[in-house]
Amino acid sequence: MTDPGWTHAAFAKPSDAQDALERLAEAGVAASEIEVRSSIPLGHEVCPVGPQVHSRVPLMAVLGGLMGGTIAILLVTLTSRAYPLPTGGMPIVPLPTAGVITFEGLALGAILCTVATVFFECRLPRLDVPAGPFDRMLADGSIVIAVRSDRVPSQWAAKATATAPTESQ
């Protein structure tokens, strides 16, 4: 079975792009064989028919926060007790001061985990990405759909402003 290669098409309007996606779905092309790219988020207007796209970011933010907060508490309590120096009649590990550091640790953990998750889910950084045929049009606002399947119907990109012939990736 030869590699069908990628077929690209650029659309001016989201409705046209969605139309093309529906035609692809009717022809039996799976969502995993389609890639939709745009310069603004259009997830709800233009999405391949298939399972919902999920993001783990909120969950990872919470987990990262808990991790960061725990590290902060341990940092404060263990280091203060390792070399206890009384200051100002205060306890060695006062609750309010430990609370401040824990809060910041929580926030830092959540921030770093959020960004790490975003990068992981987006598969970034990827500096070896080859340029696509319609990148310039994409930058000006077009929606680009790329399909890699041997079930692509002939008229799927009828409303496209430009198409590129089938080529190998």
Partner 1 sequence: MAAPANTAKEAALLRPITGVRPGLILGSLVTGALAGLLFFSWGYQIKNDIGVAGINRPVFWGFYITNFVFWIGISHAGTLISAILRVTSAEWRRPVTRCAEAITVFALTIGGLFPLIHLGRPWLFWFMIPFPNSRGLWPNFRSPLVWDMMAIGTYLTGSVLYLLLPLLPDMAILRDRAMAETPASLKARLFSFMALGWRGTTQQWHSLEAGIKVMAVIIIPVAVSVHTIVSWDFSMTLAPMWHSTIFGPYFVVGAIYSGIGVLMVAMYLLRRGLGLQEYLNDKVFNNLGLLFVAFTVIWTYFTAAEHITVWYGHEPSEMAVFWERVSGDYALVFWGMILVNTVIPLAVLSFRWGRKPFATAVVGFGVLIGMWIERFLIVVGTLRLPRMEFTVGTYSPSWVELGILVGSFGMFAMLYFLFVQFAPIVSLWEVREGDHIAGSAAASPEPVTEEAVR
Partner 2 sequence: MTRWGMVIDTDRCTGCGACVVACAAENNIQTVGEEEAHNGRAMHWLRIERRYEGTFPDVKVRFTPVLCQHCAAAPCEPVCPVYATYRTPEGLNAMVYSRCIGTRYCANNCPYTVRVFNWHDGEWPEPLERQLNPDVSVRPAGVMEKCTFCVQRIQDAQDLAKDDDREIGDGDVQTACAQSCPARAIVFGDLGNPASEVVRLARSERSSQLLEDLGTHPSVFYLRGGE
Chain positions contacting partner 2, by CB under 8 A: 85-90
Which residue is it, tokens 């001016």? Answer: 12
Whole-angstrom distance between the N-terminal and C-terminal Cα of the chain? 16
| C-alpha span between 98 and 148 (Å, rounded) | 55
For residue 86, the partner it binds in partner 2, partner 1, none, with Cβ less than 5 to 8 A by kind, is partner 2
How many Cβ atoms from other residues are within 10 Å of residue 10's Cβ? 25
For residue 12, the partner it binds in partner 1, partner 2, none, with Cβ less than 5 to 8 A by kind, is partner 1
Chain residues binding partner 1 by CB under 8 A are 12-14, 35-48, 53-55, 57-58, 61, 75-76, 79-80, 82-83, 85, 87-88, 90, 94, 97-98, 100-101, 103-105, 107-108, 110-112, 114-115, 117-118, 121-129, 131, 135-143
For residue 43, the partner it binds in partner 2, partner 1, none, with Cβ less than 5 to 8 A by kind, is partner 1
In whole angstroms, the minimum distance from the beta carbon of 117 to partner 1 comes to 7
Residue 147 is given by DSSP the state E
